[in-house]
Amino acid sequence: MSKDQVENINVIDEDAYAEEQYNDLILSCSKHVKVKDIKLIRKAFDLAKESHKGIKRKSGEPYITHPIAVAKIVTSEIGLGATSIACALLHDVVEDTEYTIEDIDHFFGEKIAAIIDGLTKISGVFDKQSSLQAENFRKMLLTLSDDVRVILIKIADRLHNMRTLDSMPANKQLKIAGETIYLYAPLAHRLGLYAIKTELEDLSLKYRHLNVFEEITTKIQINEKKRQQEINRFSLPIIEKLEENNIEFDINGRPKSIFSIWNKMQNKNIPFEEVYDLMAIRIIFKALNRETEKAQCWQIYSLITDTYTPKPDRIRDWISSPKANGYEALHTTVMGPTGKWVEVQIRSERMDTIAERGFAAHWKYKGDKASESELDKWIKKIREMLENPNSDALEFLDEFKMNLFSSEIMVFTPKGDLKTLPKYSTTLDFAYEIHSEIGNKAIGAKVNHKLVALNHILRSGDQVEIITSNKQKIQNEWLHQVRTAKAKSSITDAIKAETKDRIKKGKKLLETKLKELKVPPSSRVFRKIIPEYDVSTKDELYSKIGSGIILLENLKKILKKNTKNKLIRYWGLQISKSSSSGKSKKETNTSAKNKKFNYKNPLIIKEITESDNNNILIAKCCSPIPGDDVIGYKKPKDNNITIHKSKCPTAIRLMSSEGNYIVPAKWTSQKFLSSLAKLSLNGIDRIGIAADITTVISNELSVNIRKIFIETHDGIFEGEIELYVHNVNDLNNLIMNISKLKGVDSVKRKEEIVK
- Alpha helices of 360-392 — where are they, by DSSP H? 369-387
> Do the strands 616-618 and 573-575 form a parallel or antiparallel pair, or are they unpaired?
unpaired
Which of 37, 96, 692, 718 is an active site residue?
Answer: 96
Q: Which of 236-240, 569-573, 608-612 has the highest mean pLDDT?
A: 236-240
pLDDT score, position 400? 62
Weakest mean pLDDT among 226-240, 389-403, 577-591: 577-591
CA–CA separation, 475 vs 470, rounded Å? 14
Active site residue 95: yes
pLDDT tens digits, residue range 537-568?
888 888 888 888 888 888 888 887 754 433 33
User: What are the distances in angstroms from CA 235 to CA 157, 220, 276?
Assistant: 38, 20, 18
Q: What's the order of all strands across the beta sheet hosting 675-684?
A: 704-713, 716-725, 675-684, 744-749
pLDDT over 70 percentage in the chain: 78
The more confidently predicted of residues 269 and 85 is 85
Weakest mean pLDDT among 281-285, 463-467, 607-611: 607-611
Give 1's DSSP letter.
-
Which of 371, 311, 295 is CA-nearest to residue 344?
A: 311
pLDDT score, position 379? 60
Say if CB 720 and CB 678 are below 8 A apart.
yes
Tell me the DSSP string of 678-719: EEEEEEE--TTHHHHHHHIIIIIS--EEEEEEEEEETTEEEE
Sequence letter at residue 428: L
CA–CA separation, 69 vs 156, rounded Å? 9
User: What are the distances in angstroms from CA 333 to CA 189, 270, 311, 312?
Assistant: 22, 21, 6, 8
For residues 107-118, average pLDDT: 89
Residue 605 has pLDDT above 70, yes or no: no
Q: Which of 22-31, 40-49, 565-574 has the highest mean pLDDT?
A: 40-49
pLDDT score, position 591? 33
Strand residues in 499-597 grouped as ranges (E): 568-570, 573-575
Residue 31 has pLDDT above 70, yes or no: no
CA–CA separation, 667 vs 605, rounded Å? 5
Domains belonging to the chain, first-starting first, are 3-216 (1.10.3210.10), 221-365 (3.30.460.10), 373-478 (3.10.20.30), 493-590 (no CATH), 603-667 (no CATH), 675-749 (3.30.70.260)
pLDDT over 90 percentage in the chain: 20
> Do the strands 450-452 and 418-422 form a parallel or antiparallel pair, or are they unpaired?
unpaired
Residue 360 has pLDDT above 70, yes or no: no
pLDDT tens digits, residue range 164-180?
999 888 888 888 888 88
Residue 242 has pLDDT above 90, yes or no: yes
pLDDT score, position 574? 29
CA–CA separation, 168 vs 179, rounded Å? 15
Residue 46 has pLDDT above 90, yes or no: yes
Residue 391 has pLDDT above 60, yes or no: no
For residues 325-347, average pLDDT: 87
57: helix, strand or coil: coil
Residue 65 has pLDDT above 90, yes or no: yes
Number of helices (H) and strands (E), helices first, in the chain? 30, 21
User: Long-range CB contacts (< 8 A, 24+ apart) of 223-230?
Assistant: 223/278, 227/253, 227/255, 227/278, 227/279, 228/253, 230/279, 230/336, 230/338, 230/340
Query: Could you tell me the pLDDT band of residue 12, with boundaries at 50, 70 and 90?
Result: low
| Element of type H or E holding 427 | helix 427-434
Q: Write down the pTM of the prediction.
A: 0.62
Sequence letter at residue 590: T
61: helix, strand or coil: coil
Which of 95, 214, 248, 376 is an active site residue?
Answer: 95
C-alpha torsion angle, residues 559, 562, 565, 570 (rounded to 10): 10
For residues 341-364, average pLDDT: 78
Residue 95 has pLDDT above 50, yes or no: yes
Residue 519 has pLDDT above 80, yes or no: yes
pLDDT score, position 639? 75
pLDDT score, position 11? 42
Angle of helix 101-108 versus helix 82-90 axis, rounded to 10: 150
- Alpha helices of 29-164 — where are they, by DSSP H? 37-51, 65-72, 82-90, 93-96, 101-108, 110-119, 132-144, 149-163
Say if CB 292 and CB 356 are below 8 A apart.
no
Active site residue 372: no
Residue 496 has pLDDT above 50, yes or no: yes
Mean pLDDT, the chain, whole residue set: 78
Say if CB 458 and CB 447 are below 8 A apart.
yes
